[in-house]
Amino acid sequence: MAKKLVVSSSPHIKSPENIRSIMVDVLVALFPVALMAVFLFGYRALVTMIIAMVAAMVTEAIILRKGDFFGDGSAAVTGLLLAMTLPPAPPWWVVVIGSVVAIAIGKQIYGGIGNNIFNPALVGRAVLVVSWGGHVAGNVWLKPVPFGLAADAVTKASPLASYDASLVDLFIGTVSGSLGETSAIALIIGAIWLFYRGHIDWRIPGGFIGAVFILGLISGGFLMGLYHVLAGGVLLGALFMATDMVTSPVTKTGKIIFGVGCGVVTMLIRLYGSLPEGVTFGILLMNGLTPLIDNFTLPKKFGEVKKSA
Amino acid sequence: MSVRSFVGGIHPSYYKEFTAGMSITPARPPSQVIIPLHQNIGAPCEAVVQVGDEVKVGQKIGEPKGFVSAPIFASVSGKVTKIEPYNHPLGNPVTAIFIENDGLDTPFEGMQPGKPLEELTSDEIKQIAKDAGLVGLGGATFPTHVKLAPPPDIAIDTVIINAAECEPFLTADHALMLERADDIVYGLKAFMKALGATKGIIGIEDNKPDAIANMQKAVEKSRGEYDIEIHTLHTKYPQGAEKMLIKATTGREVPPGALPMAVNVVNQNTGTAVAMAEAIKLGKPLYERVITVTGPGIRKPGNLLVKNGTLVKDIIKQCGGMKDNARKLILGGPMMGLAQPTDDVPVIKGTSGVLILTEEFVQEYPISACIKCGKCVEVCPMNLLPNFIASASEKQRMDLAEKYGAMDCFECGSCTYTCPAKRPLVQWIRIAKGEIAASRRK
């Protein structure tokens, strides 16, 4: 025998899936959302998304001193998710600051992928909302115009400020809002891909959306419940942000608690807070509780009988 | 019929096509066998022959040194040339008996058919299993007669034959079900009679429909006499793990740290059932077994009947040799088998497969941080938190590893298989188990 045999510990076969393939799946899932954003808000939405992604990837490459620009793909995902939460056309430097903060402060400062406590894209957004609110919130929403060819400068209030959008418009996305949050149908199509690929399960989105719907229903009836689910960032947050693997619980019960918590905090802010939208801070708050939730929801081992009280 | 299963588990590529449906062929007789004196969980054996002795096929050469042990038999006839430590599949060298094959296959006179099963008592069956050196042939090699002798206060009502064969690549049990169906049923009946069990179950994964049909036919023959059922199992790893199999077939959950007898069940492997039948019908002790020689790195894969103590290199040679891109030799399956540093190692009672993997299977991956995707939590059949146990072990926090369930891990490897960050989870858990066990002994 000429060649040496490799000796290693079992198992000797591994699933082909890796972090990069998961991140590519997330990018694929965000594609219909991005496409809809460009359709509704025009080329400037595309520019915003590209700036955010490139800035995120460059920041990560500089911090990690690596030549591989795309890397495991997580920076591109963070950049794109951040862009999804921004108005269609904020000043370019606002987008860049958001991405740099998301990667540097939101992620790498904790030790990089897997170690961050808070969703990096939402950390970036939170800093922008607090520091440059005039550019990313308030009355800067563009009126959506399919194909984006006309009426460039028309702005319109968020449906969460005015409460006047129709449910059909909310479902299709022909309302003003962040570039990735308006179209329920595009978000749902993307999420189906993630379900199919096994990257998210029903527990977090189910808890989140369920809590928002029930609290909305209590506050104003069935249609108001539906309105709260479809308007603003609930679907984007529940399907793509709260389901971020790193910053959400791993236990099955924990995922439900986490999702419900996100929904409850979101609605408390919407109904009683000083901001029209509460998704960002709802998720960030629950991110901080994730390790605790995991520890309180350790699963019952196979064959273990519940201890009688 | 409904397909039964458990919660968790993985769906790897099964790679059964290398050897599926191939009939069992006797391996070429080796010129020499090297039979290690430790081939089971429990105590090793002591040599009862000396250098220079002539031995016959089926003659006892190793006498057990404790109750949880099983005797070892000559697999060829010839002369004992050496008794000294030699390579062993489990790692450390073990004293082994070297026998030069005289090529005559002279059978030992003591191998005689005994009474038929109908006339045997429970105790006689247990004695036959003990005298034949039977151990669990699935790989764990727990002595069979110990399993057949539960404490008097425990009544066993069900015997399950583990014919799931959930390890990818392996087809030895599949081949046995196609060719030795009657003996499997005979062995199961013997186990049932020995234990006083009223129910027999044969659990087979649904990727082996021909085996299910064949076993069904064999079971029909003893209808009315014994209550034996074939259970079709969902094809999923680790369906053949003891606790998962019991859950899938009977709905009972074996408590953490307990044995199947805690839920009145005994599991036996397909190969063990055949060996039991041979021991009763022919008086034949366990000195040979069916081994799947397979993998992308071997030229002529097959299901071989191999004599105990045959060197792996002799088996590989008659299977056409390793291909040039072969890089890993595993005894057992790819999920739980042991990689060997050399092919100069004998097969033992527990060797179910000789698997040769090629370069593309032995890539090394950089290990990333845990991204807490929870996929390992989803697949863990024991419902543990593999990511937390492994991270605790990595940080030398064995107290936390224990809290998250390290000692309940049976090392199926599903977590490591699944991990997208390519973290060696089960490997870290093994380290934790070793350290926790060591600190408990103190």
Quote the minimal CA–CA distance from A206 to chain B in Å.
17
Tokens of B440: 């408990």
Q: Would you tell me how many other CB atoms lie within 10 Å of the CB of residue B139?
A: 23
CATH number of the domain located at residue range(s) A20-295 in this protein: 1.10.3430
Q: What percent of chain A has pLDDT over 70?
A: 91
Q: Does the structure show a pLDDT above 70 at A152?
A: no
In a domain, B389, yes or no: yes
Q: Show which of B235, B260, B282 is a domain's final residue.
A: B282
Burial letters B335-355, b for 16+ CB under 10 A, else e:
bbbbbbeebebbbbbbbbbbb
Contact status, residue A104 vs residue A98, Cβ threshold 8 Å? no
pLDDT of residue A150: 42
Which of B371, B385, B404 lies nearest to residue A245, judging by beta carbons? B371
Quote the minimal CA–CA distance from A214 to chain B in Å.
28
Cα distance from N-terminal residue to C-terminal residue, chain B? 51
Banded pLDDT at A68 (limits 50, 70, 90): confident
Domain boundaries, chain A: 20-295
pLDDT of residue B435: 94
Task: With CB atoms and an 8 Å threshold, state whether B254 touches A298.
Answer: no
The stretches in chain B having pLDDT less than 70 are: 1
Task: With CB atoms and an 8 Å threshold, state whether B420 touches A21.
Answer: yes
Banded pLDDT at A223 (limits 50, 70, 90): very high
In a domain, B342, yes or no: no
Tokens of B218: 């064999």
Report the complex ipTM: 0.88
Task: With CB atoms and an 8 Å threshold, state whether B430 touches A9.
Answer: yes
Signed CA dihedral, B69, B71, B75, B76: sign only: positive
In a domain, B88, yes or no: no
In a domain, B329, yes or no: no
CA-only gyration radius of chain B, Å: 21
In the predicted model, what is the mean pLDDT of residues A98-110?
A: 96
- How far CA B317 is from CA of B28, B298, B323, B373, in Å, comes to 10, 10, 11, 45
In the predicted model, what is the mean pLDDT of residues A218-246?
A: 94
Alpha carbons A214 and A229: distance in angstroms, whole number: 10
Q: What are the backbone dihedrals phi and psi of residue A245, each rounded to the nearest 5 degrees, phi first?
A: -60, -45
| Pairing, β B45-47 against β B338-340 | unpaired
CB-based contact, A274 to chain B, within 8 Å: no
Q: Does the structure show a pLDDT above 90 at A147?
A: no
Q: Show which of B282, B310, B331 is a domain's final residue.
A: B282
In a domain, B173, yes or no: yes
Q: Does the structure show a pLDDT above 70 at A104?
A: yes
Number of domains in chain B: 2
pLDDT of residue A149: 46
Burial class of residue B43 (count of CB atoms within 10 Å of its CB; 0-12, 13-18, 19+):
middle
In a domain, B102, yes or no: no
CB-based contact, A199 to chain B, within 8 Å: yes
Task: With CB atoms and an 8 Å threshold, state whether B342 touches A5.
Answer: yes
Helix (H, G, I), strand (E, B) or coil at B344: coil
CB-based contact, A115 to chain B, within 8 Å: yes
Alpha carbons A136 and A233: distance in angstroms, whole number: 14
Helix (H, G, I), strand (E, B) or coil at B186: helix
Contacts of B373 in chain A (CB under 8 A): 22, 199, 245, 250
Q: Does the structure show a pLDDT above 60 at A154?
A: no
Tokens of A301: 């081992």
Q: Does the structure show a pLDDT above 80 at A164?
A: no
Task: With CB atoms and an 8 Å threshold, state whether B12 touches A13.
Answer: yes
Contacts of B343 in chain A (CB under 8 A): 1, 5
Task: With CB atoms and an 8 Å threshold, state whether B361 touches A5.
Answer: no
Task: With CB atoms and an 8 Å threshold, state whether B426 touches A7.
Answer: no
Burial letters A82-101, b for 16+ CB under 10 A, else e:
bbbbbbbbbeeebbbbbbbb
Alpha carbons A87 and B138: distance in angstroms, whole number: 61
Which of A5, A302, A304 lies nearest to residue B328, judging by beta carbons? A5
Which of B313, B357, B403 lies nearest to residue A12, judging by beta carbons? B357
Cα distance from N-terminal residue to C-terminal residue, chain A? 63
Task: With CB atoms and an 8 Å threshold, state whether B338 touches A10.
Answer: yes
- What are B216-228's pLDDT values in tens digits? 999 998 887 889 9
For residue B208, give every residue at least 6 positions away whose Cβ sits within 8 Å of its Cβ, in sequence order, or none. Answer: B165, B174, B177
Quote the minimal CA–CA distance from B335 to chain A in Å.
4
Specify whether B158 is located in the same domain as B259: yes
Contacts of B374 in chain A (CB under 8 A): 245, 249-251, 255
In the predicted model, what is the mean pLDDT of residues A241-253?
A: 95
Task: With CB atoms and an 8 Å threshold, state whether A304 touches B327.
Answer: no
Q: Show which of B232, B258, B282 is a domain's final residue.
A: B282
Quote the minimal CA–CA distance from A17 to chain B in Å.
5
CB-based contact, A291 to chain B, within 8 Å: no
Task: With CB atoms and an 8 Å threshold, state whether B375 touches A303.
Answer: no
pLDDT of residue A151: 44
Burial letters A285-305, b for 16+ CB under 10 A, else e:
bbbebbeebbeebbbebbbbe
Task: With CB atoms and an 8 Å threshold, state whether A199 touches B340.
Answer: no
Q: Which domain holds residue B380?
A: 375-441
Quickly list DSSP for B252-292: --PPTT--GGGGTEEEEEHHHHHHHHHHHHH---S-EEEEE
Helix (H, G, I), strand (E, B) or coil at B396: coil
Q: Does the structure show a pLDDT above 50 at A277?
A: yes
Task: With CB atoms and an 8 Å threshold, state whether B384 touches A301.
Answer: yes
Alpha carbons B57 and A34: distance in angstroms, whole number: 74
Task: With CB atoms and an 8 Å threshold, state whether B336 touches A21.
Answer: no
pLDDT of residue B21: 85
- What are B34-77's pLDDT values in tens digits? 999 999 988 999 999 999 999 999 999 999 988 899 999 999 99
Closest Cα in chain B to A255: B374
Which of B342, B368, B413 lies nearest to residue A19, judging by beta carbons? B368
